Amino acid sequence: METVSTSKAYGGIQGVYRHASTATGTDMTFAVYVPPHDEGARLPVLWFLSGLTCTHANVMDKGEYRRTCAELGVILVAPDTSPRGDDVPDDDAYDFGKGAGFYVDATQEPWAKNFRMRSYVEDELPALIAAQFPMADMARQGIFGHSMGGHGALTIALRNPDRFRSVSAFAPIVSPLHCAWGEKALGGYLGSDRMAWRAYDACALIEDGARVAEILVDQGDADGFLVEQLKPELLVAACEAAGIDLTLRMQPGYDHSYNFISTFMADHVAWHAERLGR
Amino acid sequence: METVSTSKAYGGIQGVYRHASTATGTDMTFAVYVPPHDEGARLPVLWFLSGLTCTHANVMDKGEYRRTCAELGVILVAPDTSPRGDDVPDDDAYDFGKGAGFYVDATQEPWAKNFRMRSYVEDELPALIAAQFPMADMARQGIFGHSMGGHGALTIALRNPDRFRSVSAFAPIVSPLHCAWGEKALGGYLGSDRMAWRAYDACALIEDGARVAEILVDQGDADGFLVEQLKPELLVAACEAAGIDLTLRMQPGYDHSYNFISTFMADHVAWHAERLGR
C-alpha cells in the first residue's frame, strides 16, 4: 500500500492510499480518516460507499464527516466506486462502467475481469485495512453510503450480518430490479437472468430471508431521482414484511447532493458510533 | 443577477449566482449561503475570500461553514478570485492571472481592464448583495479568507474599518511586499513603484496608520508556505507596534489545505458571529 497523501484534520489524519488490487486487477485508491486517539486504542470502522460518478474523493471533500468522527472516535473508509485505468473497459454513460461499479462482481464480458467491486469492498479492502491500520477494530464495523453507495451498503450489510453491526443510507437505490439505473447496470454486469440480480438488491435480499436488526435511511423529498430510481416505499414494504426496524426520514426540501448528505452526516456517524460502541 | 443553482443545506439555502460585473467587465460567479431564519429577520454578512487557484466553489465544497452559519444565523458570501472568460488575459502560472487576482485594481496592461477585484469585492458585489438579498444586514459585515484571500480580507478590512466589524484569516499572506507571491503579483498588476503596493499589504497599511480593533489568525505550523510566503511574524510585529489586538494561533501539524481551514472554520464563524451580533 502506497500513501498518496496525508493531512491533519480535526486532530486526526485524512489519508489517501493506493494499492494494486487482486480483485479488480487494477490500482485502487481509497481514503481513510483516522481520528485522534490514544496510543493503543482500537477504533470502530465505518465504511462509506459513494454514488454514481464518484471516486473516494467526493465524500472526503464534501461529506463533512471528520468533525463527528473525531468527536466520537470513528475511523471512516471511503473506497472508489469502480476500477480505474486506461485498460479498464468503460461506457460513455455516467451510469455504467467507470464510476458506476454498483458493488457487484460482474459475470458478463468485457466487465467480468475488472468490475469486481463486491469482492473488493467485501473482502480485499477490509483485509488491507486490518493489516495496515492497527488501530482499526474490525470486530466493530458499520457501513453506509449514498444513492448507488446506499444500495451497496444495504446489500453488503444484508449479505454479511455478522460483519456489520450497523447500516444506514442517504437516498439509496433500494431495488435495482425496479429502476432504470438498476436494470441497465445489473443487466450489463450480470446478464439477463434476473434471479442472479437478487443478491444485489436490498429488497430482494430481504424477501429471500436476509436480515439486519435495523436500518436508518434519510431521503430528501426534493430529490430528482426519488420517484423513478430510489423508491424508498419498496424498502418500507420489504422491511415491514420482514420485521426489520427501518427508520425512513423524509427530509423536506433536500435534493440528491452533498448538501443533503453533509446536513445529516453527523446524525449518521453518531447513530453508527452508538451501535459500534466506544 | 442569474441564479445558477440553489440547494438546501443545514436548513438554509446554498446558492450560486452569476452577474455581469461592471468592475471586471466579465460575468462573475459567486456563492451565498443563507441560513434558516424567521421571515423578516436581518442577518449579518460574512465574506470569505479564497486563495490562489480557487473559485467561489472551493470553500463552498470543502469549507464546512454551513453548520455553524446555520446555528448562529450568519450569511456567508464567497466571491471568485479573479475575472474569468476567454477574453480575459491570463498567465500560465498558478499564482498570476486567472485564479490569482490578489484583490487589487490592476493599473498595468494587459491586466487593468479586467483585474479589478478590489472594486469588485469592496464595492460592486456588496451593493449587489444588499439589493438582491433583503435579509442581509449590510450594517453588520465581517470578512475572512485563506492565504491570498487572507491577504484580501486583512487589507480590505484595514482600508474599510467602518464597513467591517470583524476580520480573521487562515494562513494569510500578511505582506506581499515581503514574499515571492506578492512581488510577482503586485509587480505585475501594479508596476514597479512599490509605494503603490502599500495599499495592498496588511503590514504596510498598519505601518501607514490603518487600524482595526482586533484580528484572529490561525496558521498551521506544517504549512509548506509558512516560512517563505506567509511570514506571520511580520503581522505580529506590525500589530504590536500599532497596538492592534492580534490573536495568532499556531496550529501544530496542520498544512495549508482545506483540512486545516475546515477544522477551524466553526471557530472563525463563531468568532465573527459574536462580534456581528445576533
d(CA B14, nearest CA chain A) in Å:
8
- Whether the CB of B159 is below 8 Å from some CB of chain A: the reply is no
From chain B, the residues in CB contact with A259 under 8 A are 7-9, 14, 66
Q: What percent of chain A lies above the pLDDT cut of 70? A: 100
Contact B270/A at CB under 8 A: no
How many whole angstroms separate alpha carbon A260 and alpha carbon A253?
9
Say yes or no for a CB contact (<8 Å) between A8 and B260. Answer: yes
Q: Which residues of B touch A57 (CB under 8 A)?
A: none
A56 is known as an active-site residue: no
- From B7, B66, B255, residue closest to A8, measured CB to CB: B255
Mean pLDDT throughout B67-72?
98
CB within 8 Å: B62 and A66:
no
What is the set of active-site residues of B? 147, 223, 256
Q: Which of A14, A32, A62, A64 to mutate to test the interface with B (most CBs of B within 10 A)?
A: A64
Positive or negative torsion for Cα B3, B35, B100, B114 = positive
- Report chain B's mean pLDDT, rounded to a whole number: 97
pLDDT 10s digits, B252-265? 999 999 999 999 99
Task: Looking at A160-257, list the stretches that DSSP marks H as alpha helix, in order from N- to C-terminal side.
Answer: 180-190, 202-207, 232-242
The reported pLDDT for the residue numbered A120 is: 98
Contact state of B257 with A7 under an 8 Å Cβ cutoff? yes
State chain A's mean pLDDT as an integer.
Answer: 97
- Over residues A111-122, the pLDDT tens digits come to 999 999 999 999
ipTM confidence score: 0.95
In 3D space, the residue among B201, B100, B124 whose CA is nearest the CA of residue B156 turns out to be B201
pLDDT in tens, B163-221: 999 999 999 999 999 999 999 999 999 999 999 999 999 999 999 999 999 999 999 99
> Residue A50 catalytic?
no
Nearest chain B residue to A261, by CA: B9
What is the edge-to-edge ordering of all strands in the sheet holding B2-9? Answer: B2-9, B12-20, B27-34, B75-79, B43-49, B136-146, B164-170, B214-220, B245-251
By CA distance, what is B64's nearest residue in A?
A64
Interchain contact A7–B (C-beta under 8 A): yes
- pLDDT of amino acid B28: 98
Which residue in A50, A105, A223, A272 is the catalytic one? A223
How close is the nearest chain A Cα to the Cα of B107, in Å? 37
Among A8, A61, A222, whose Cβ lies nearest the Cβ of B62?
A: A61
Q: Which residues of B touch A9 (CB under 8 A)?
A: 259-260, 262-263
Nearest residue, CB atoms, A62 vs list B11, B61, B259: B61
Q: Give dist(CA B55, CA B169) in Å, integer.
A: 17
C-alpha of A20 from chain center? 20
Interface of B with A in 228-267 (CB under 8 A): 253-255, 257-260, 262-263, 266
Chain B from 211 to 230: CB within 8 A of any A CB = 220, 222
Any CB–CB contact under 8 A between B71 and chain A? no
In whole angstroms, give the CA distance from residue B44 to residue B38. 14
Residue A255 near residue A248, CB atoms below 8 Å: no
Record the pTM. Answer: 0.96
| Alpha-carbon distance B61 to nearest alpha carbon in chain A (angstroms) | 5
Long-range contacts of A239-243 (CB under 8 A, 24+ apart): A239/A206, A239/A215, A241/A206, A241/A207, A242/A206, A242/A207, A242/A211
Identity of the residue in B61, B67, B254 whose CB atom sits nearest the CB atom of A61? B61
| Cβ distance of B67 and A62 shorter than 8 Å | no
- Residue B153 one-letter amino acid: A
B259 and A67: CB-CB below 8 Å? Answer: no
Return the percentage of chain A with pLDDT > 90, whole number. 99
Q: Nearest residue on chain A to B8, judged by CA atoms?
A: A254
Q: Is A189 helix (H, G, I), strand (E, B) or coil?
A: helix
The predicted pLDDT at position B66 comes to 98
Instruction: Read off the pLDDT band of A79 (50, 70, 90).
Output: very high
3-state SS record for chain B: CEEEEEEEECCEEEEEEEEECCCCCCEEEEEEEECCCCCCCCEEEEEEECCCCCCCHHHHHHCCCHHHHHHHCCEEEEECCCCCCCCCCCCCCCCCECCECCCCECCCCCCCCCCEHHHHHHHHHHHHHHHHCCCEEEEEEEEEEECHHHHHHHHHHHHCCCCEEEEEEECCCCCHHHCHHHHHHHHHHHCCCHHHHHHHCHHHHHHCCCCCCEEEEEEECCCCCHHHHHCHHHHHHHHHHHCCEEEEEEECCCCCCHHHHHHHHHHHHHHHHHHHCC
pLDDT value for B259 = 98
- How many angstroms separate the CA atoms of B159 and B104, rounded? 12
Mean pLDDT for B60-87 is 97
Nearest to A171 by CA among A52, A31, A46: A52
Interface test with A, best of B7, B10, B250 (most A CBs within 10 A): B7
Contacts of A61 in chain B (CB under 8 A): 61-62, 258
The DSSP call for residue A211 is -
- In percent, the amount of chain B with pLDDT more than 70 equals 100
Cell of B101: 487576482
Choosing from A151, A256, A268, A272, which is the catalytic residue? A256
CA-to-CA distance for A236 and A248, rounded, in angstroms? 8
Given a cut of 80, is residue A278 above it in pLDDT?
no
Quickly count: other Cβ atoms within 10 Å of residue B40's Cβ. 7
Asked if B220 lies within 8 A of A8 by C-beta distance, the reply is yes
Per-residue pLDDT tens digits for A203-256: 999 999 999 999 999 999 999 999 999 999 999 999 999 999 999 999 999 999
- Looking only at the bridges linking them, the beta strands covering A164-170 and A214-220 are parallel
| Residue A151 annotated in active site | no
What is the CB neighbour count within 10 angstroms for residue A92? 6
Question: What is the mean pLDDT of the segment spanning A151-170?
Answer: 98
Residue B278 has pLDDT above 80, yes or no: no
